[in-house]
A = this chain, B = another copy of it.
Amino acid sequence: MTYFPSSLPGGECPNCGFKAWSRSANLASCDSERLNDRIDHRRLVKRNQYLNRAGSKLSSLYVIYSGFLKTSITDDGGREQITGFSMAGELVGLDSIGTGKHQCDTVAIEDSHLCEIAYSDFARLSCDIPSLQHHFHRMMGAEIARDHGIMLLLGAMRAEERIAMFLLNLSIRFSARGYSETQFRLPMARQDIGSYLGMTVETVSRTFSQFNNLRLIAINGRYIEIRDLPQLRQLIGDRGTRDPLPRRAGSGAN
């Protein structure tokens, strides 16, 4: 598979994140230019570096040009829950719109290039440009819908189903970006996958091994090949064959 270029050219990126993003918003070209003028195309975040910290003030929105980020919340007791992984083309920072303060930590899990726009500029523009505003609403709505899906996963699925969903979700997103839908690299640590899916590292690892033995996948460290996409899909919600009752809730010990 191919990778994004590791560095950006001088003044402007050839395929700026916001540009691509605003293409899908169907902006008129003059509006697209106005948006483009306000964007800083060169923000670089290195691996393990924080983009946003929980509690800090919302200042900018970002579209990822290349790389991978994780977003997490931590409660008073120190428990961490990863709420999502973001990849190229995706918008980061929406959780802070409500309060004006970031609710989440956002950290790069690989060196990442971002396109940045000041939230104040964005808000002003979106007042002027209805289709931009509409697209923005779509993004917010999509985030809500996505979160609901994860709530279903966390509240009602067993370990194998969670892993299957996780892999299929990545497959779809890679595929949508022109990469292979069956072979890719998992950029995040097992620990992070576990936090995201509400299970321990060990269970993540064991489930991967199990899928590997069943020839559903071939996994080698962070490189993975999905060998039986249909079966993997069937595994979700296919609780009829192995278990006649719809499953609910948690899991084993805690």
Contacts and interface: CB of A to CB of B under 8 A. Distances in A.
Interface string A220-241: 0000000000000000111110
B194 A249 contact: yes
A189 interface: no
B97 A200 contact: no
A158 B144 CA distance: 24
Interface in A85-111: 94-99, 103-104
A37 interface: no
Contacts of A195: 155-156, 248
Contacts of A239: 77
A127 B137 contact: no
Interface stretch (A13-21, A26-34, A145-153, A171-179): A145-153
Interface string A134-163: 100111111111011111101111110000
Interface residues of A, number: 65
A236 B155 contact: no
A147 B197 CA distance: 15
A140 B144 contact: yes
A203 interface: yes
Given A251-B249, A252-B252, A254-B250, A103 B237 contact: no
B145 A250 contact: no
A156 to B, nearest CB: 5
A152 B75 CA distance: 8
A81 interface: yes
Given A75-B237, A150-B151, A145 B99 contact: yes
A130 B141 CA distance: 19
A141 B254 contact: no
B141 A98 contact: yes
A60 interface: no
A140 B98 CA distance: 7
Given A75-B236, A250-B253, 18 more contacts: A73-B151, A77-B237, A78-B237, A78-B246, A81-B155, A83-B148, A94-B141, A95-B148, A98-B138, A98-B142, A140-B144, A150-B151, A154-B155, A156-B198, A158-B254, A203-B249, A251-B254, A252-B254
Interface of A: 73, 75-81, 83, 94-99, 103-104, 123, 127, 130, 133-134, 137-145, 147-152, 154-159, 194-200, 203, 236-240, 246-254
